[in-house]
């Protein structure tokens, strides 16, 4: 693999399903979607049947609580090895330009490898690649079990670049008609269309690398964000799949610790992770909020009273006559007061917190929920994509939902640079069905 240390980029050898495989059954949505909707995944299983599919190569998180996770992990490994042995894949070397059509929008991306030595997901990181949201450390060990020792990676990771002039991906959009088309098909579950093109033109590849170099230029970086000279450059900010990339990083760090010497791992594919790069300024890239739902709230606990106690003298609870009143108030909020929608089986309300300690309403809410859960206030929390799902789940007996506003995507990079990672699960890049589908794979090995 050709690598470029100054921009943390690797030119990958990608594995794609060979001709004749039904791509509509092959590609499935990211494993961390529809985690409270098992019926979605049951429909996927019925659609795929016994055909080759990335469904057999991933661990849908809706099943993370099952009794025997090791059995599922074992089946995943078996399918990975079988697909490799049976020649399900064909190799494609080079960057891949991808387009995801979702009806009204077309999101553009670039498949590439990122150097995990230049990624640090810890709070306060100053690395070239950084987490944009807080990393839940407890979520990494289960993922390590799935990835560690696996012969393949099939990524749903999307990483953002802040490229207002569209210098990195834009030229590929303009030139796509003269580069090799690799696939073009409709995704399952009415999720749009996916197409991919191999960047087999040397001048286009060089242009991509030069544009990334320009974005990473220290002087241009500090001028762009009005920073002090010497501020560490942030070139790549996590969009989706933060915990998956953190898992890959954890395994790579462990590999280095256990290596006999640097030479023994000098060519290790574990140092890199396959991701899709997306321009923050892509018009199709819309930041959606990630709502919260508590399940099985403990008997005798009054969440609204406890929120008032958590923010004494600063929190008041307002009732809403309907869901439209609640969502309008949350979506249109301005000023320093944080408004959070509350959904219960008994109706809708709003929590207003004045003089908040956090920059965003999601931080104000999460600070309270962390303590509430530590005090056994509810059995479980889920982070939900989509207003309808949050309302449906929040209205179920024993549950409480929290409706949050979206953040302005153009504030992301400067906020991460100045303040560090945002509160975990702050934003979602699109609705659940618009998330990345597994399509490409890459061979992993220990050496």
Q: List, for residues 41-59, the tens digit of each pLDDT value.
A: 999 999 999 999 999 999 9
Local confidence band at 446 (pLDDT 50, 70, 90 cut-offs): very low
Do the beta carbons of residue 200 and residue 175 sit within 8 Å? no
Look at strands 129-130 and 119-120 and give their pairing.
parallel
**pLDDT, mean over the chain:** 94
Residue 404 has pLDDT above 50, yes or no: yes
Which regions of the chain carry the CATH code 3.30.1760?
A: 288-407+416-428
Write the pLDDT tens digit of every residue in 220-244: 999 999 999 999 999 999 999 999 9
Using CA of residue 280, residue 3, residue 153, residue 439, what is the dihedral sign? Answer: positive
Which pLDDT score, from 0 to 100, does residue 447 have? Answer: 35
Q: What is the mean pLDDT of residues 157-161?
A: 98
Look at strands 338-344 and 347-353 and give their pairing.
antiparallel
Does 1.10.10 match the CATH number of domain 288-407+416-428?
no
Do the beta carbons of residue 145 and residue 73 sit within 8 Å? yes
Look at strands 442-443 and 152-153 and give their pairing.
antiparallel
Residue 434 has pLDDT above 80, yes or no: yes
Strand (E) or helix (H) holding 26: helix 23-26
């Amino acid at each position: 693999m050709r690598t470029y240390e100054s921009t943390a980029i690797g030119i990958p050898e990608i594995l794609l399903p060979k001709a004749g495989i039904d791509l509509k059954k092959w590609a499935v949505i990211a494993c961390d979607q529809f985690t409270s909707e098992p019926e979605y995944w049951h429909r996927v299983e019925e659609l795929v049947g016994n055909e080759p599919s990335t469904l057999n190569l991933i661990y849908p998180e809706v099943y993370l609580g099952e009794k025997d996770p090791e059995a599922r992990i074992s089946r995943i490994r078996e399918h990975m090895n079988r697909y490799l042995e049976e020649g399900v894949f064909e190799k494609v070397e080079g960057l891949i330009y991808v387009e995801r059509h979702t009806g009204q929008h077309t999101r553009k991306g670039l498949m590439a490898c990122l150097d995990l030595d230049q990624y640090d997901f810890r709070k306060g990181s100053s690395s070239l690649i950084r987490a944009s949201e807080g990393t839940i450390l407890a979520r990494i060990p289960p993922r390590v079990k799935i990835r560690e020792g696996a012969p393949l990676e099939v990524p749903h990771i999307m990483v953002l670049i802040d490229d207002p002039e569209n210098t990195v991906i834009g030229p590929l959009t303009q030139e796509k008609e003269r580069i090799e088309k690799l696939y073009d098909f409709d995704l399952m579950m009415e999720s749009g269309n996916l197409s991919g093109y191999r960047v087999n033109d040397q001048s286009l590849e060089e242009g991509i690398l030069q544009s990334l170099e320009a974005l990473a230029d220290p002087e241009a970086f500090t001028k762009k964000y009005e920073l002090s000279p010497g501020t560490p450059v942030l070139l790549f900010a996590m969009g989706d799949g933060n915990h998956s990339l953190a898992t890959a990083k954890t395994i790579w760090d462990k590999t280095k610790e256990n290596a006999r010497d640097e030479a023994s791992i000098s060519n290790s594919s574990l140092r890199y992770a396959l991701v899709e790069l997306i321009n923050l300024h892509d018009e199709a890239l819309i930041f959606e909020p990630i709502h919260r739902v508590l399940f099985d709230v403990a008997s005798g606990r009054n969440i609204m009273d406890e929120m008032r106690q958590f923010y004494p003298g600063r929190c008041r609870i307002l009732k809403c006559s309907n869901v439209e009143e609640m969502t309008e108030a949350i979506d249109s909020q301005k000023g320093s007061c944080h408004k959070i929608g509350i959904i219960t089986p008994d109706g809708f309300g709003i929590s207003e917190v004045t003089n908040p300690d956090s920059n965003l309403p999601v931080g104000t809410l999460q600070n309270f929920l962390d303590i509430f859960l530590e005090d056994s206030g509810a059995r479980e929390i889920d982070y939900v994509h989509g207003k309808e799902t949050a309302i449906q789940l929040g209205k179920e007996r024993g549950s409480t939902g929290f409706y949050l506003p979206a953040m302005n995507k153009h504030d992301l990079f400067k906020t991460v640079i100045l303040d560090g990672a945002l509160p975990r699960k702050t934003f979602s890049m699109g609705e659940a069905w618009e998330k990345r589908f597994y399509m490409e794979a890459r061979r992993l090995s220990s050496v």
